[in-house]
């Protein structure tokens, strides 16, 4: 099966946020021309390596970062020309998303992206609280998301997503409900939630390690997640995946490709591609990535072949993380018994021939997926899951 989705990474940011563990280079002026040349070279190398006989037919394109809105005007039109060397898509049906930070999403960029064919904007708001934004290292201020949404609407975008981070340290006294209300007041078509984590290599990770910062405890984390679930679903959003809410017909088609296990292509520093059964990833550093391509070398930094056992576990985990759930017809009797226990605990619902986790169940996703996979080992001949300890 050929990939029908493409991710393209833009690694440039004015500054790195305290929590960020993405492939990012801090610089004020993004080297747009160099980035476009590197992306074009990688795309050509990838097509040759994969042996694509003809152009791919893409359903979704996602340009993420980093901060794509730091690129010069004209970058997205040039990117489209590059991608069309080995792919086609129908302008009326493709979902083409581009991420933006509110402070760099200008009217010029918005109009330029619209003309290039982008039809979905993902805005990294994260919060509307000035103190929280300063602590994170965000630059747009409390009014930035509102201005950015207005800019998107004026340019003709009718599909806007807003990202929010929850679970920040309690000492910041962030009013999470107020952030949700301000988000709803902007009437985005989609909302993504991200629970704050302290990755080891980030400033936040070092603060937590050294005892200088404390993340929200489990109860506060769960309370904020469940409050968001209630407020957003009451407002008409479908909670269709652990972290994602969309108005009817406005789910992220690109991200859903990741969650259904189909192949996807990827370009740019740190990007991950999946050509079943192989998952591979590029060098994270911009300079390392660019140098490899200047020398006509592949920027791929590593890969893994997904075993039958791991593929079976991933299938369970991916199915349970969305509202599609796991098919009852494919479940073993032991798995169905487990699902009934989850129903009693309020973690799952079994309806319409699917086992679906509730919002409470999604808080326990990793543990429940391991347990469910272990309960299915007789059917799928899995090994090792029964004795594998569940995460806390």
The domain limits of the chain are 5-259, 309-380
* Distant-in-sequence contacts of 114-120, Cβ < 8 A, 24+ apart: 114/155, 114/156, 114/157, 115/77, 116/76, 116/77, 116/79, 116/80, 117/76, 117/80, 117/91, 118/63, 118/76, 119/94, 119/95, 119/157, 119/159, 120/95, 120/96, 120/157, 120/159, 120/160, 120/161
Q: What is the chain's Cα-based Rg?
A: 21
In this predicted structure, what is the pLDDT of residue 313?
92
Per-residue b/e over 111-149, b at no fewer than 16 CB within 10 Å?
Answer: ebbbebebbbbbbbbbbbbeebbebbbbbbebebbbebb
Q: In tens digits, what is the pLDDT along the chain, a chain of 392 residues?
A: 899 999 999 999 988 888 888 888 888 899 999 999 999 999 999 999 999 988 999 999 999 999 999 999 999 999 999 999 999 999 999 999 999 999 999 999 999 999 999 999 999 999 999 999 999 988 889 999 999 999 999 999 999 999 999 999 999 999 999 999 999 999 999 999 999 998 888 889 999 999 999 999 999 999 999 999 999 999 999 999 999 999 999 999 999 999 998 999 999 999 999 999 999 999 999 999 999 999 999 999 999 999 998 999 999 999 999 999 999 999 999 999 999 999 999 999 998 899 999 999 999 999 999 999 999 874 444 333 232 223 33
Peptide bond into 294 cis (omega under 30): no
In this predicted structure, what is the pLDDT of residue 25?
87
In this predicted structure, what is the pLDDT of residue 23?
83
Contact residues for 373 (Cβ-Cβ < 8 A; gap 6+): 312, 313, 316, 317, 380, 382, 385
pTM of the model: 0.93
Q: Which two tokens stand for residue 197?
A: 């984590």
Strands (E), the chain: 5-10, 12-13, 25-26, 56-57, 60-65, 87-88, 95-100, 120-126, 160-166, 190-195, 238-241, 244-246, 265-267, 272-275, 278-282, 300-305, 326-327, 348-351, 354-357
- The residues that bridge with 166 in the sheet, in sequence order, are 195
In this predicted structure, what is the pLDDT of residue 392?
31
* Distant-in-sequence contacts of 128-134, Cβ < 8 A, 24+ apart: 128/178, 128/179, 128/182, 128/183, 129/172, 129/174, 129/175, 129/178, 129/179, 131/172, 131/173, 131/174, 132/168, 132/172, 132/174
Which CATH homologous superfamily contains domain 5-259? Answer: Aldolase class I (3.20.20.70)
d(CA 198, CA 196): 7
Segment (H or E) for 277: none
Q: What Cα–Cα distance (Å) separates residue 345 from each residue in 146, 342, 358?
A: 40, 5, 10
8 Å CB contact between 52 and 2: yes
d(CA 152, CA 110): 6
d(CA 33, CA 152): 25
């Amino acid at each position: 099966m050929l990939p029908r989705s493409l991710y393209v990474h833009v690694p440039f940011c004015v500054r790195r946020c305290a929590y960020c563990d993405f492939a990012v280079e801090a610089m004020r002026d993004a080297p747009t021309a160099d980035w476009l040349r590197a992306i074009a070279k990688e795309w050509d190398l990838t097509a040759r390596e994969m042996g694509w006989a003809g152009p791919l037919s893409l359903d979704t394109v996602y340009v993420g970062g980093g901060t794509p809105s730091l690129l010069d005007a004209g970058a997205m039109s040039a990117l489209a020309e590059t991608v069309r060397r080995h792919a086609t898509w129908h302008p009326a049906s493709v979902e083409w998303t581009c991420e933006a930070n509110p402070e760099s999403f200008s009217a010029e960029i918005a109009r330029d992206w619209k003309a290039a064919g982008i039809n979905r904007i993902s805005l990294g708001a994260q919060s509307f609280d000035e103190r929280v934004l300063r602590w994170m290292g965000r630059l747009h201020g409390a009014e930035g998301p509102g201005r950015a949404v207005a800019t998107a609407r004026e340019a003709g975008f009718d599909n806007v997503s807003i990202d929010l981070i929850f679970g920040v340290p309690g000492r910041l006294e962030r009013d999470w409900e107020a952030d949700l209300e301000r988000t709803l007041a902007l009437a985005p078509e989609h909302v993504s939630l991200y629970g704050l984590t302290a990755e080891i290599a980030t400033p936040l990770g070092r603060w937590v390690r050294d005892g200088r910062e404390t993340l929200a405890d489990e109860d506060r984390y769960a309370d904020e997640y469940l409050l968001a679930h209630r407020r957003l679903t009451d407002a008409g959003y479908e909670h269709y995946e652990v972290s994602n809410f969309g108005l009817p017909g406005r789910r992220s088609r690109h991200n859903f490709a990741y969650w259904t296990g189909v192949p996807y292509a990827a370009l740019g520093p740190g990007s991950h591609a999946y050509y079943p059964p192989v998952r591979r990833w590029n060098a994270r550093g911009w300079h390392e990535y660019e140098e490899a391509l200047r020398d006509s070398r592949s920027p791929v930094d590593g890969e893994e072949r997904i075993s039958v056992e791991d593929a079976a576990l991933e299938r369970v985990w991916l199915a349970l993380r969305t509202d599609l759930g796991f098919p009852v017809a494919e479940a073993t009797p032991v798995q169905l018994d487990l699902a009934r226990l989850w129903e009693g605990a309020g973690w799952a619902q079994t309806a319409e021939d699917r086992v679906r986790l509730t919002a409470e169940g999604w808080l326990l996703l990793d543990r429940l997926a391991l347990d469910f996979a272990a309960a299915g080992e007789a059917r799928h001949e899995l090994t090792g899951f029964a004795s594998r300890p569940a995460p806390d």
